[in-house]
Chains A and B, each alone.
Chain A
């Protein structure tokens, strides 16, 4: 299919321009026009930029991808790196996968921008906040629109930078600034893996363009990715492992997830946008984008599935005991990202994107709801001191409740469909290659689902139900809900309800509202077929990877009855967990729980979960070693050699020489002249004793062809004596 060219660059460029405006002029605008009008202009520019991106993404998809039926569109913005055989252009591309990501990013981003107007209203650095938010949108859009790994990496680093800037937005608080640095450094470890993976891919393909990689991968088992090995392991495996290391950093998987809970130090809308809906899903996007490569590396796929399952489970168990409203949601995010990687690991690419989309809806809604709660409670985040807030903020409570149901997997809300599809894939994807992996993944996934339902309703009950447990002042002076914050919440809640119909399972009966009684197709899976088609064609030992349409074919049949059974099981688990949580926390913190804590086993479990398994403390040992090494390097290499010998040494030497020469400059003109004469004497003496040094240059003047000009000085030899003893000569040497 032809690839029409289009002005794709406007999609990321507009947020970038918005960021530039607010960074360069925002402060002046607020100063000149006053707080009220100035802030109005600042956020109108920011929201307008994102709205434009959102509008152009949607209209592009509607007109071109759906309307005309193009598979994708490419724009070569400009040749960026041209050096020898390397030719990397700043090429953008929108295909069906990018389109989904673009619409989610700009759509959710727009709602969160609007919410921020309310949440950040009293922020003195208002313009900077919106500038960073716009900059993030630009970077994220570059990430999803990039046509090569290099462009993707530009966006990847860009969103990392914005994440750092926004986590540490209130940088005067040392703890928050540290959280920002932690996020940045942990992400750098992952990015190192991405760079290594890119280099490995480049060594095979000679290009980092997705099309080039795809065409090399098309040979499946015979492609150089599989036939070339490093230490007996195929390059596909090593490269995808490296890339997945980057994903564990960016998408907060074990073992690099530790930064995400700390990232909650940033403003809450930022947590919703960056650390729940968009940036942290970049790793999932990368895997799905390179699905043809990952599918060639069954070992990596198994590792991804395992890591995803472990992350989903462990983060969920930590979430059970946290008391900070945002920390619960943060661990929930880590856990849900784990689900997405389970799907990736089993080659269910469309399912991973499906969960990414639904998660973006309900998790953004939950985070924004928590933001509204935090705002109402005067920036108190401890759910032990909340309760009964439903009476004060009905919209927030309602949307929060709906999103809790969605994330817990209650049909027919979005989370049910996407999570169940992942568990279904985990259940049926057995292979000879990795026996038992699907059992492990399915079990951990189910346990995590139970934990999710439990902690979400623990959170809901403690926050919105029961009796208020805070001080009287907060209760009577709470910040009222207002439209600019409730509006986005309502939209997101609606999306969280209906989002699941993007991937309506074929096993379920046709919806009554469908014309002709046909089953609603799995829209997203059909939509993404061109993207995942290639990995689906791989055969041979690649059981784990190529999954599109696999589990419905006749050889690996799963009957509709079995599918119903699985759905029923997960709904039962969710309902039971919800019921348990509601029963335990119906009147605030439970006495029953306190009684259980008397049992040493449960108390110990609680300590481990509450202490986040002490992973941070364990990492701290490594950090200490690294810091010690860095200290040694600083004191030896920097302080001693560079600063000491290099910089101070040079200046010291110059100063020493200067001190010596300064004694000569005593201001006595007569001594200057005496020294001058001495110098002249020395020069003349040298010329006298060794006349050859007076002839500089290769050709004596008189032997040059002067073109008819009569040579004057030096044409004759003049010999004379000065004061009777100094004899000197002028002119050329006598010949012979």
Chain B
């Protein structure tokens, strides 16, 4: 049987890939995808523990996260589209108007 630590390592690797992606990439689309990656890392951790302890709570959480991720993707893409329309590029460093 595959020990739980393997699943957790996978989750961490996915999550860190997402983090690094958000941190270093400037394209908004890539950033959104990296966020999805982080969410899925978290999902894998949830499901692993759910398996480990025989508790369905973790899997329910994962379902919620997927639903939220879908909503977030929809809103996020809409924002990306409107940003792109307004300035013909989608660089996350340009979008800092809410600073003030």
Chain A residues proximal to chain B, CB less than 8 Å: 665-670, 673-674, 677, 712-713, 715-716, 718, 720, 722-723
Stretch at the interface among B66-74, B80-88, B89-97: B89-97
Chain B residues proximal to chain A, CB less than 8 Å: 4-5, 8, 12, 19, 22-24, 26, 31, 49, 52-53, 55, 57, 92-93, 95-99
Interface contact B23-A674, CB-CB below 8 Å: yes
Interface contact A665-B92, CB-CB below 8 Å: no
State in angstroms the CA–CA spacing of A669 and B91 once bound together: 11
- 6 residue pairs A–B, Cβ–Cβ below 8 Å: A666-B96, A667-B99, A668-B96, A669-B22, A670-B22, A673-B22
Contact partners of A715 in chain B: CB under 8 A = 53
State in angstroms the CA–CA spacing of A665 and B97 once bound together: 11
Contact partners of A666 in chain B: CB under 8 A = 96, 99
Other than A673-B23, A713-B49, give 14 A-B pairs with Cβ distance below 8 A: A665-B99, A666-B96, A667-B97, A667-B99, A669-B22, A670-B26, A673-B19, A673-B22, A674-B23, A677-B19, A712-B53, A713-B53, A720-B8, A722-B12
Contact partners of B93 in chain A: CB under 8 A = 668, 670
Chain A's closest residue to B24 (CB) is A670
**Nearest chain B CB to A667's CB is how many angstroms away?**
3
The contact of B55 among A667, A712, A718, by CB within 8 Å, is A712
State in angstroms the CA–CA spacing of A673 and B35 once bound together: 11
Contact partners of B53 in chain A: CB under 8 A = 712-713, 715-716
State in angstroms the CA–CA spacing of A677 and B4 once bound together: 25
Contact partners of A716 in chain B: CB under 8 A = 52-53
Interface contact A670-B12, CB-CB below 8 Å: no
Contact partners of A673 in chain B: CB under 8 A = 19, 22-23
**Nearest chain A CB to B30's CB is how many angstroms away?**
12
**Nearest chain A CB to B41's CB is how many angstroms away?**
12
State in angstroms the CA–CA spacing of A340 and B62 once bound together: 94
Contact partners of B99 in chain A: CB under 8 A = 665-667
State in angstroms the CA–CA spacing of A605 and B98 once bound together: 82
The contact of B57 among A668, A669, A712, A718, by CB within 8 Å, is A712
State in angstroms the CA–CA spacing of A720 and B9 once bound together: 9
Chain A's closest residue to B94 (CB) is A667
Contact partners of B5 in chain A: CB under 8 A = 720
Known contacts A665-B99, A712-B55, A712-B57: A718-B4 contact under CB 8 Å: yes
State in angstroms the CA–CA spacing of A722 and B9 once bound together: 7
**Nearest chain B CB to A722's CB is how many angstroms away?**
6
Interface contact A667-B23, CB-CB below 8 Å: no
Contact partners of B24 in chain A: CB under 8 A = 670
Contact partners of A712 in chain B: CB under 8 A = 53, 55, 57
6 shortest A-B CB distances, which residue pairs? A667-B96, A667-B99, A712-B55, A712-B53, A720-B5, A673-B22
**Nearest chain A CB to B3's CB is how many angstroms away?**
10
Chain A's closest residue to B19 (CB) is A677
**Nearest chain B CB to A564's CB is how many angstroms away?**
98
**Nearest chain A CB to B90's CB is how many angstroms away?**
13
State in angstroms the CA–CA spacing of A722 and B10 once bound together: 11
Contact partners of B98 in chain A: CB under 8 A = 667
Chain B's closest residue to A676 (CB) is B19
State in angstroms the CA–CA spacing of A666 and B5 once bound together: 39
Chain B's closest residue to A711 (CB) is B53
Contact partners of A667 in chain B: CB under 8 A = 95-99
State in angstroms the CA–CA spacing of A715 and B55 once bound together: 12
Chain A's closest residue to B92 (CB) is A669
Chain B's closest residue to A673 (CB) is B22
Contact partners of B52 in chain A: CB under 8 A = 716
State in angstroms the CA–CA spacing of A665 and B24 once bound together: 19
The contact of A670 among B8, B23, B49, B55, by CB within 8 Å, is B23
State in angstroms the CA–CA spacing of A401 and B11 once bound together: 110
The contact of B92 among A670, A718, A720, A723, by CB within 8 Å, is A670
State in angstroms the CA–CA spacing of A716 and B22 once bound together: 34
State in angstroms the CA–CA spacing of A296 and B29 once bound together: 97
**Nearest chain B CB to A365's CB is how many angstroms away?**
74
**Nearest chain B CB to A637's CB is how many angstroms away?**
39
State in angstroms the CA–CA spacing of A669 and B96 once bound together: 8
**Nearest chain B CB to A665's CB is how many angstroms away?**
6
State in angstroms the CA–CA spacing of A713 and B55 once bound together: 10
State in angstroms the CA–CA spacing of A666 and B98 once bound together: 9
**Nearest chain A CB to B29's CB is how many angstroms away?**
14
Chain A's closest residue to B57 (CB) is A712
Contact partners of A718 in chain B: CB under 8 A = 4
Contact partners of B8 in chain A: CB under 8 A = 720
**Nearest chain A CB to B31's CB is how many angstroms away?**
8
State in angstroms the CA–CA spacing of A673 and B92 once bound together: 13
Contact partners of A720 in chain B: CB under 8 A = 5, 8
State in angstroms the CA–CA spacing of A380 and B97 once bound together: 70
Contact partners of A722 in chain B: CB under 8 A = 12
State in angstroms the CA–CA spacing of A639 and B55 once bound together: 66
State in angstroms the CA–CA spacing of A720 and B4 once bound together: 10
State in angstroms the CA–CA spacing of A677 and B19 once bound together: 9
Chain A's closest residue to B4 (CB) is A718
